[in-house]
Amino acid sequence: MNNKICFIGGGNMAASLIGGLINNDYPNELISVTDPDQSKLQQLAKQFSINTTTDNQTAVQQADVIVLAVKPQVLADVCKSIKESLGESNLIISIAAGIRSTDIDRWLGGNNAIVRCMPNTPSLIQAGATGLYANPQTSAKQKDVAEQILGAAGITLWVDNESLLDAVTAVSGSGPAYFFLFMEAMQRAGSQLGLDEQTAGLLAKQTALGAARMALEGEDDPATLRAKVTSKGGTTAAAIASFEANDFEGIVQQALTSARDRAIELADELGKQ
């Protein structure tokens, strides 16, 4: 791929994708970033030796792929400001949470190839999980381009129905916070059981890392892995029984449904612009 890529917005997610691309030997001279914050641009230019500017329109005119990496609340204004600068073959990639591709296309003037993405914060360390949806105007080649760009920050998975990105948001987009919450709870519980806070915290974090690696890298699914470490009448069985008695699965289901429903509400609200 030798496309000229323009990132509109130079925040953490843009920086993570740029870093991943360059680590995968993507030519830095083909990457540009626009942002109103000059200090942010200077930092990105120094770190990655890429092109930077505050001029969205000129940058878009010179690009093949435009990555919309701005806050959802300002996306409508950004799209409307660049629509006259777009070419017929541009690919638009949006990593702005919650904004539907139909609204983005409307703000951009219509009939654009758009890939909407839902990355998560581990993308900042190239360990992310990103759900992607391509609108009907997007070609197979353009989908490959989007997958390469987002794949620089972790794994990518496509959904055929855009509404499923709300479920992706609930599972992986918001998901890191669930695991952080669980680690917090384990650390506090370990401290209450007599461990010092630092020891309890490190044990919780390393256990989470090890369990995730076993689930990702092994052949067994999570249910099988859980069964293998749950001896009848043992300590793990006692903990699992306590979780189940308090409807652990129901709590998780309710939480993810709440996240999904809020994603839909936000999309409805932001799409009114």
160 and 227 co-located in one domain: no
CATH number of the domain bearing residue 97: 3.40.50.720
Please report the pLDDT score of residue 52 as a whole number: 96
Q: Tell me: the pLDDT tens digits for 119-137?
A: 999 999 999 999 999 999 9
d(CA 231, CA 183): 23
157 and 181 co-located in one domain: no
Q: What percent of the chain has pLDDT over 90?
A: 95
Write b or e for each residue in 231-260: b if 16 or more Cβ atoms lie within 10 A of its Cβ, otherwise e. Answer: eeeeeeeeebeeeeeeeeeeeeeeebeebb
Nearest alpha carbon to residue 168 among 134, 120, 133, 131:
131
Which residue, chain included where needed, has tokens 């309890």? 200
Q: DSSP 3-state assignment of 139?
A: coil
158 and 197 co-located in one domain: no
In a domain, 271, yes or no: no
pTM (global) more than 0.85: yes
d(CA 116, CA 271): 14
Q: Please state, rounded to an integer, the average pLDDT across all residues of the chain.
A: 95
Q: Tell me: the pLDDT tens digits for 137-186?
A: 999 999 999 999 999 999 999 999 999 999 999 999 999 999 999 999 99
Task: Single out the residue in 117, 138, 165 at which a domain terminates.
Answer: 165
51 and 149 co-located in one domain: yes
Q: DSSP 3-state assignment of 110?
A: coil
Please report the pLDDT score of residue 211 as a whole number: 97
Contact 108, 60 (CB under 8 A): no
What average pLDDT does range 3-32 have in this prediction?
A: 94
Please report the pLDDT score of residue 272 as a whole number: 83
Please report the pLDDT score of residue 97 as a whole number: 87
116 and 157 co-located in one domain: yes
CATH number of the domain bearing residue 228: 1.10.3730.10
Contact 37, 18 (CB under 8 A): no
pLDDT at residue 1 is higher than 70:
no
In a domain, 170, yes or no: no
pLDDT at residue 205 is higher than 80:
yes
147 and 251 co-located in one domain: no
What average pLDDT does range 41-57 have in this prediction?
A: 95
Q: Tell me: the pLDDT tens digits for 209-218?
A: 999 999 999 9
Nearest alpha carbon to residue 99 among 264, 262, 245:
264
Cβ neighbours of 136 (radius 10 Å): 7
Please report the pLDDT score of residue 270 as a whole number: 87
Please report the pLDDT score of residue 273 as a whole number: 76
pLDDT at residue 271 is higher than 90:
no
pLDDT at residue 221 is higher than 80:
yes
Q: Tell me: the pLDDT tens digits for 58-111?
A: 999 999 999 999 999 999 999 999 999 999 899 999 999 889 999 999 999 999
Structure tokens at 264: 């839909």
